[in-house]
Amino acid sequence: MSAAGPGPTGTAALVGRLRAAGCVFAEDEARLLTEAAAGGVDQLAVLVDRRVAGEPLEHVLGWAEFCGLRIAVAAGVFVPRRRTELLVREAVALVRRGSSTDGRTADVAGAGGARPVVVDLCCGSGAVATAVARTLHGEVRLDLHAADVDAAAVACARRNVVPLGGAVHQGDLYDALPETLRGRVDVLVANAPYVPSHAIALMPPEARAHEPHVALDGGADGLDVARRVVSGAAAWLAPHGSVVVETSRAQAPALLTAVRATGLDARLSRADDLDATAVVGTRSAER
């Protein structure tokens, strides 16, 4: 290795080592790890050792790609998955629709009207809140909030969300939110843990060994936390506000039933390109 990087022979050896450790995209990983080490061979050796030992690439790099953005992700924090981009699509569409139809003058690019309230519950790294805000940047100014029960997630989300003008809160679901948001939330998104407890053992080692249990475990049928999100949503939503919860295809019918039981209008959202499913509940104007 040279002082500036591994050099061609070193790069081939690095790729071989990563491939032998089971990294499918070994060339890409070698490039990203080299870039992350900023040319320092000692640092590169540390990063490669961590990756070869089985840490998720995103934890080693310190960031994950999500919606075309680099989201800061720390060790011990859930790595955002591509399928969760469905929540971003839904949230952006709902904000745009609400801004044009709910009779308010939304704060479009700083015009000074009411700012739509967007909450990312169970935020982890804050990837969803970040991507929604970045997508709507220059178009609609948001009153942006994210919350999580886990201190490591909250610290990580603050790195992503606070620079965008958002606030990050810590606590159990709605307990974390400021009371001033009650009845005022326009879009509430949640990718709560939804892996059935018995299925965690079947997850890839990168997830079950390096992502916190609290980020994965959804209880016996996977819906314990999602049901609590849904049952609490109506009290926090503004008239015409919506809650969007990621789920699996198999769990969706039960979650739709749970949404309907709260009095919200319920619909299924599906993106085949992401293999993603979400349930959307919307509050009617009168209650």
Ligand X SMILES: C[S@@+](CC[C@H](N)C(=O)[O-])C[C@H]1O[C@@H](n2cnc3c(N)ncnc32)[C@H](O)[C@@H]1O
Which residues of this chain interact with ligand X, rule CB under 6 A?
78, 80, 84, 122-125, 127-128, 148-150, 153, 172-173, 191-193, 214-215, 225
CB of 128 to ligand X, least distance (A): 5
Strand 69-72 to 63-66 pairing: antiparallel
Closest CB to ligand X among residues 173, 276: 173
Nearest one of 46, 40, 52, 53 to 16, comparing CA atoms: 52
Closest CB to ligand X among residues 191, 247: 191
CB of 21 to ligand X, least distance (A): 25
Closest CB to ligand X among residues 37, 117: 117
CB of 95 to ligand X, least distance (A): 18
Closest CB to ligand X among residues 99, 191: 191
Closest CB to ligand X among residues 32, 215: 215
CA of 90: how far to CAs of 39, 114, 161, 256, in Å?
Answer: 40, 21, 19, 16
Q: Which residue is nearest to ligand X (CB)?
A: 124
170 bridge partner residues: 148
The Cβ of residue 23 has, within 10 Å, a number of other Cβ atoms equal to: 18
CB of 159 to ligand X, least distance (A): 14
The Cβ of residue 175 has, within 10 Å, a number of other Cβ atoms equal to: 11
DSSP secondary-structure letter at 249? T
H runs (alpha helix) in 162-275: 205-210, 213-216, 224-236, 252-261
DSSP secondary-structure letter at 1? -
CB of 184 to ligand X, least distance (A): 20
